[in-house]
Every structure is written in structure tokens, then in C-alpha cells.
Amino acid sequence: MAAKELNDSSFAEEIKLGVTLVDFWAPWCGPCKMQIPILDQVAEKTGDKATIAKVNVDDFPSPASQFGVRGIPTLILFKDGAVVQQFVGVQQEAVLTDAIEAALNN
């Protein structure tokens, strides 16, 4: 199960309900490339409980500027449209799945 690709028009709708982890990335970013397989593992482990998504900041800069993303990769965990937690830099699977579980249970 791979992360869902979001764009300027789908972003707000996607984070509106439930728990969503969004990876802000770019194709030229080395650490972002390292994050992708980890994100796919998180998506596999999480299943339907939460949405795992990514936004290419080069193609769709609006969501990144809306949430003050300055460096990539930045991962933001949302619950019902509100920011729950923000991570900068490559994050390990356990860190992300633990954060998702905590958001689901709060």
C-alpha cells in the first residue's frame, strides 16, 4: 500500500476527517527519497485506520506554505483537520506509527 498523492485541490478535503499523515517532499530531495519506503511501510501497517499521504512541494506549494513548511521532508499528522504533531527530517516507522496510534486514541 503506497502513500496517497495529494494536490492543492484534494489536500483540504483529505485532511478534513480522521487521522492523516502528510509527507511534504520533493523528487530532488535525498532524505525525502529515504522517507518514501518508510512511509509505504507505515501505510501498510496502518491500513484503513489512517490515511498516509504526500504532497510534492515543487508542484503544489500552497499546502506547504499554509502550514509553514520550511525544510523537507516535513511530516505533519492531522486529526479532523487540526495539526496534532509535526516532524522534520527522516522519521522511522515506529515513531510515525506510534504517533498515529496516539492520535487515533485521543
Question: Which residues are catalytically annotated?
Answer: 29, 32
Q: Contact, 56 vs 27, CB < 8 A?
A: yes
Q: How far apart are CA 35 and CA 41, in angstroms?
A: 10
Q: Contact, 78 vs 24, CB < 8 A?
A: no
Q: Contact, 92 vs 41, CB < 8 A?
A: no
User: Which runs of E-coded beta strand occur in the chain?
Assistant: 4-6, 19-25, 51-56, 74-79, 82-88
Nearest-10 crossing angle of helices 93-104, 30-46: 50
